[in-house]
Amino acid sequence: MSTEVQAEAGEHAAPAPRRHRTSRRTREALVGYLFLVPSLVIFGAFFFYPFGRLIWLGLHQQNRTGTATRWVGIEQYGEVLGGEEFSQGLWHSVQYLIYTVPLGLVLGLLLAVAAHRRLKGIKIFQTIFASTVASSVAVASVIFFVLINPQVGKFGRVSWLDLENPDSALFAVSLSSVWQNLGLTFIIVLAGLQAIPDEIIEASILDGFGPVRRFFRVTVPLIAPTLLFLVVVLSIFALQAFAQIDILTQGGPAGSTETLVFKIFNLQQPAKQPIGSILAVGLFGVTMIVSLGQFMILERRVHYGN
Amino acid sequence: MSGVVFEGVTKRFGEVVAVDDLTLEIADQEFMVLLGPSGCGKTTALRMIAGLDDVTAGVLRIGDRVVNDIDAKDRDIAMVFQSYALYPHMTVRKNVESPLLTRAFPVDDGAPRKLTGEEREKRVKEAAATLGLSDLLDRKPGALSGGQRQRVALARSIVRRPEVFLMDEPLSNLDAKLRAQTRVELVELHRRLATTFIYVTHDQVEAMTMASRIAIIENGRLQQVGRPQDVYERPANLFVARFIGNPPMNTLPALFSRNGTASQVVCGETRLSVSEPGSAADGQAVDFGVRPEHLTVAADGLPAEVKAVEMLGHERHLVCDVNGAAVVIRQPTEGAPPQPGEVLHLSADPAEVHLFDAETSERLN
Amino acid sequence: MAIDTHAPRLDETGRHRRLRLRRRGSARWSGRPGVRARWAKNAGWYIFLTALSLLVLYPIWMTIVRAISTPLPYIDEGQPLWWVRPQWDIFWRAFTLGDMGRAFFISAIMTTVIVVAQVLTSVLAAYAFAFLEFPLKRLMFVVVIATLMLPIEVTLIANVKTIREVAWLGVDSIQSLSAPFLATAFGIFLIRQGFMGVPKDLRDAATLDGFGHMGFLWRVAVPVARPIIASFIVVSFLSAWNQYTWPRAVTETSSWNTVQIALREVSTTRVDQLNIGFAAAIVAALPILAILIIFQRHLIRGLTAGAVKG
């Protein structure tokens, strides 16, 4: 060691440690913020700022060009959320949820249970069942257009799939969602089934449980968290449905497929933006209530392992 | 010349004191083993030397330099981790090379500079050759055995030729046979490199077999520093006495009595003579300790009921009950072993009796 | 009666044997009666699985048939299960005709921009959350979680307004198509989880090796968390390519349509040109299908993250 270093060390000895520690911590914090900045900028500009803006817009009226706004106050929320437009859109969205979630979940479970076994070539079936994950909402809509379009679809004349009848149109559209989400549902349920230890199933066989009892008493409780997750995800998908309607019915017939998002999408002209904004805030509230509600109701019945 | 010196070093994590006022001088080229049970602060002490943990109070020197505020990468040390900490995605060559990438090294007594690729390759090959890894340079850690990974970790530390090597339980992931073999190799490596080794372990066998000196730490406090034989023969307190040695030293509560020149401990009804009473005072409550090999079965002495006999081939251990305390005797295997339930009388070698203050646990003789 | 009472027990031993059989493999046991029963049972499963497969694939098959067939003759023949007057070049034509080729190009660029940006922003943020200590870290994490409750469908109107107002974003541009998706909470969570699996010793070793934060991030953390990052890339690609609502809302001229939006044209096309739209739908799904098959493992890990307990 050179004398130079020695001298330096002597100088440093007493006060240096504290200064060093703080500076290192400051440096670490700076790096932390620096790394967060890109994400936070995007979140600020395209998540939080617009949400604040929606709320603000809902308190105002706008002219046709969007150049002038006038304060109208919180009453506008009451009017819109209590009005026809919102309740109708919400009802269609909820209907869509009721059509798609239980059916999609049951079919996905059926596929997963069928494909969860040791057979030669089972991978091929698993790949087929998962394949609809490759389709987008738009692709799925076109594929169902082939089947249920009134003019050219193979089943366009089947009464309960009739896109031109207000009573059946929304259900017919919902089938494309059920089909499109099948792949995702299947993949997730199958992963849930595969996560069940073999020993538990074998123990239940030794306990003399038959296949049906085993399924409801052992398998379903064990994959309940997975199913709960799917219920939430599929419900949120349903509440956000737009492309299917945009492609298959454009909201018709007679507005019977105008879901909340479809209405929001069509309220973008400046004069209508305040209404659209309030519907969007309503959609936000409904989405929160649905996902929180499902958690609270279902969580008590769900078996969560340790 | 790089020893390591702790001067009243303390490390706190919030409320927890991990290392408490540690003063310890580790000489240049020494093989110092920091020994203690898990959670005693020995690893924290090592990590402070490495610069991975800050020093809360006190002064830490490496060589002549106070390193409290020197970054880890600027200290002249290398460390081998318990888990080896090899980069799983890099080949052995890249792993060994990694300490050479970011810092400057003095080359041919010139000014320190970053090494060229060629120089790095040369050093990597040397380190690999030293540890017998030359054929494995292009493998990834996942394709190596535990022993090979351990060697890669060693190679990575020697490649930068540091003045101080830090090792954190580097043998604990090896199987027993490999561990014994590696101990010998580490001692050999230490001799060849002629630098300071600071080695953390909870395994007293590693400490006894490799260390030039052992520092025993408990609860963040240094208990004793000394050569392995000294620590074994003259433990500074009850903790060290019980920690070092396998099976551990037998300790029993007793009263010390001094009668003219004759010194004795009184344990229950039995009196045992002590040849070197040290500072023990007449009538003082003590813990007297005696190692299993210094107890013999005699006609008269401490009554002990045999609970179990453990046959080890070259010797046997009698596990006995003395006034409710377990006492172990080490015996050669000659003759028939006593049966469980049998009551023996034990006598202790007077020259090998250790006396500890019953209150402070400190050594008296 | 006697047979009745014995029946369950027989059944039980039968099950026992099946359990054993599964373990030992069938070869040694072939020829025994139990094996034949098992084979019959397997045949039942194969039939059932095939039936389910046909159900899942039927819509796709019909779309392929409709795409290949000449539209009017196909309808005239009563929409059979097989094609009528096939036009094999239809897939190429779907790609080259009109705006479809351009739409593919725009989709490809938009997807690339989104995926690259999401990986970068998520890796950096995940690193901060996984490895660094700084004040307000928890609050920052809550901020990230909160974005999950603000999907594009909710913020649509205000975001479109922003894009229309901010000149340099430009309405019809790659920037405007991708801007709201350049960062994602899902990516931050997933990659953070991957980073937290990097052993602490590895971090310390990197510190001693002289790697700073950037060195540790790119030389150690990212390579070690590579499988999870790969999963994220696959899922990110999938959702970017399949995006619909935002590009539909923000695009003003049809020449800036992405593939998904271009597919919408199907519903407004004349019947005799429908096959092009159907072919386009198939071509649009192909990149994702290829990804699904090549990166099956990563895709499944990415999709199931958070779903299966753990």
* pLDDT tens-digit series, residues B208-220: 999 999 999 999 9
CA–CA separation, B28 and B3 (whole Å): 4
The 10s digit of each residue's pLDDT in A92-103 is 999 999 999 999
Residue B206 has pLDDT above 60, yes or no: yes
Cβ atoms of residues A242 and C244 within 8 Å:
yes
CB crowding C23-45: b at 16 or more within 10 Å, else e: eeeeeeeeeeeeeeebeeeeeee
Residue C19's pLDDT band (cuts 50, 70, 90): very low
More confident residue, B241 or C298: B241
Residue, of A89 and A68, whose pLDDT is higher: A89
Helix, strand or coil, per DSSP, at residue A286: helix
Query: Is the Cα dihedral A133, A138, A141, A142 positive or negative?
Result: negative
CB contact under 8 A, A32 and C308: no
> CB–CB of B170/B82 below 8 Å?
yes
Would the CB atoms of C260 and A154 count as touching at under 8 Å?
no
Q: Quick check: A84 pLDDT over 80?
A: yes
Q: Do C151 and A48 touch (CB under 8 A)?
A: no
Q: How confident is the model at residue C13 (pLDDT cuts 50, 70, 90)?
A: very low
Write down the pLDDT at residue A225: 84
Higher pLDDT, A295 or A38: A38
Amino acid of residue A176: S
* pLDDT grade for A20, boundaries at 50, 70 and 90: low
Task: Decide if pLDDT at A299 tops 70.
Answer: no
Contact of C213 with chain B, judged by CB distance below 8 Å, is answered with no
Q: Is C205 on the interface with B (CB under 8 A)?
A: yes
Q: How far apart are CA A111 and CA A182, in angstroms?
A: 9
Q: What is the 3-state secondary structure (H, E, C) of B31-50?
A: EEEEECCCCCCHHHHHHHHH
Q: Which residue of A has its CA nearest to C282?
A: A139
B326/chain A closest Cα distance in angstroms = 40
What is the pLDDT confidence band of residue A253, given thresholds at 50, 70 and 90? confident
A64 pLDDT exceeds 90?
A: no
As a whole number, mean pLDDT of residues B278-290 equals 88
CA distance C223 to C106: 31
Q: What is the pLDDT of residues B32-86, one digit of tens each?
A: 999 999 889 999 999 999 999 989 999 999 988 999 988 888 888 999 999 999 9
**Distance between CA atoms of residues C285 and C298, nearest Å:** 18
Chain B partners of C204 at a C-beta cutoff of 8 Å?
47, 50, 52, 79, 81, 85
Predicted pLDDT of residue C34: 65
The percent of residues in chain C predicted with pLDDT above 90, rounded, is 44
Tokens, residue C234 = 């696959």
Q: Whole-angstrom Cα distance, residue C277 to residue C281? A: 6
**For residues A278-290, average pLDDT:** 92
Cα separation of B232 and B208, whole Å?
9
Paired residues of B200 in beta bridges: B34, B168
Q: Both tokens of residue B137?
A: 């340079």
pLDDT at residue C33, rounded to an integer: 59
- Taking every pair of Cα atoms in chain A, the longest distance, rounded to a whole number of angstroms, is 97
- Asked whether the predicted pLDDT for residue C38 surpasses 80, the reply is no
Domains detected in chain C = 90-304 (1.10.3720.10)
What's the token pair of residue A280? 């969007």
Listed residue (C69, C203, C207) closest to C131, CA to CA = C203
Burial C185-203 (b: 16+ CB within 10 A, else e): bbbbbbbbebbeebeebbb
**Three-state SS annotation for A89-106:** HHHHHHHHHHHHHHHHHH
The answer to whether the predicted template modeling score (pTM) of the entire model surpasses 0.90 is no
Report whether pLDDT(C137) > 90: yes
pLDDT top residue among A95 and C99: A95
For residues B337 and C234, what is the distance between their CA atoms, to the nearest angstrom?
71
Q: To the nearest whole angstrom, how far is the Cα of B103 from the nearest Cα of chain C?
A: 7
Higher pLDDT, C18 or C147: C147
What pLDDT, on the 0 to 100 scale, is given for residue A151?
Answer: 78
Is residue B100 pLDDT above 70, yes or no?
yes
- B260: exposed, middle or buried (C-beta count within 10 Å: 0-12, 13-18, 19+)? exposed
Q: Please compute the mean of the pLDDT values over residues C168-189 and round it to a whole number.
A: 89
pLDDT above 80 for A15:
no
A264–C157 C-beta distance less than 8 A: yes
- The rounded distance, in Å, linking the Cα atoms of C176 and C170 is 6
CA distance A21 to chain B (A): 7
Q: How many residues belong to chain A?
A: 306
Is pLDDT of C26 > 50? no
Nearest to A134 among C156, C259, C288 (CB): C288
CB-based burial, A26-57: b 16+ in 10 Å, e otherwise? eebbebbbebbebbbebbebbbbebbebbbeb
Judge whether residue A298 has pLDDT over 70: no
Q: How confident is the model at residue B223 (pLDDT cuts 50, 70, 90)?
A: very high
- What is the rounded distance in angstroms from the CA atom of residue C123 to the CA atom of residue A163? 46
Q: Give pLDDT, residue C134.
A: 93
What is the arithmetic mean of pLDDT over C226-238?
A: 91
Could you tell me which chain B residue has the CA closest to the CA of A14?
B59
* Helix boundaries (H) for C147-199: 152-165, 174-178, 185-196
Size of interface B-C (CB pairs under 8 A): 54
Percent of chain A at pLDDT above 90? Answer: 47
H and E: helices and strands count for chain C = 17, 0
Enter the tokens of residue B79.
Answer: 């460390």
Chain B residues lying within 8 Å of A26, measured CB to CB: none
Query: A2 pLDDT exceeds 70?
Result: no
Joined together, the tokens standing for residue C114 give: 């989104």
With beta carbons under 8 A apart, name residues in chain B contacting A6. Answer: 64-65
Neighbours of chain A (3+ CB pairs under 8 A): B, C
What is the model's pLDDT at position B115? 87
> Does the pLDDT of residue C275 top 50, yes or no?
yes
Per-residue model confidence (pLDDT) at position B134: 92
| Subunits adjacent to chain C (3 or more Cβ pairs under 8 Å) | A, B
Q: Which amino acid is at C207?
A: T
Q: Give the pLDDT confidence score for residue C301 in this predicted structure.
A: 84
Q: Look up the ipTM and state it.
A: 0.86
Closest residue in A to C186 (Cα) is A39
Is the pLDDT higher at C20 or at B95? B95
Mean pLDDT of A170-189: 94
Nearest CA in chain B to C205: B85
Confidence (pLDDT) at A278: 94
Query: Residue A22: is its pLDDT beyond 80?
Result: no
Mean pLDDT of chain A: 85
Q: Which residue does chain A place closest to B70, by CA atoms? A: A20
Distance CA B10, CA B17 (A): 8
Give which of C18, C46, C47, C56 to mutate to test A binding, by max A Cβ within 10 Å: C56
Q: Please, which pLDDT band fits residue A302 given cuts at 50, 70 and 90?
A: low
pLDDT at C22 over 50: no
The number of angstroms, rounded, from the C-alpha of C241 to the middle of its chain's C-alpha atoms is: 9
The pLDDT score that the predictor gives to residue B196 is 94
| Sign of the torsion formed by the C-alpha atoms of C214, C220, C222 and C225 | negative
CB atoms within 10 A of CB A200: 13
Average pLDDT, integer, range B317-335: 90
Residue scoring higher pLDDT (A208 or A4)? A208
Rounded distance, CA A141 to CA A148, Å?
A: 10
Judged by CB atoms closer than 8 Å, whether chains meet at C56 and A138 is answered as: no
- Mind telling me how many Å the CA of A4 is from chain B's nearest CA? 10
Using a CB–CB cut-off of 8 Å, the residues of B that contact A are 1-2, 54-55, 59, 61, 63-66, 68-69
Instruction: Measure the CA–CA gap between A110 and C147, rounded to whole angstroms.
Output: 34
In this predicted structure, the answer to whether residue C24 has a pLDDT above a threshold of 50 is no
Structure token pair of residue A244 = 């299917």
8 Å CB contact between C73 and C229 = no
pLDDT tens per residue, range A127-162: 999 989 888 999 999 999 888 888 777 787 777 888
What value does the mean pLDDT of chain B take? 90
- pLDDT, average across residues B137-162: 92
Spell out which chain A residues touch chain B, with contact meaning CB-CB distance below 8 angstroms.
Answer: 1, 5-6, 9-10, 12-13, 16-17, 19-21
User: Is the pLDDT higher at B121 or at B279?
Assistant: B121
Provide mean pLDDT across the span C74-88: 83
Compute the average pLDDT of residues C242-260: 91
pLDDT at A240: 92
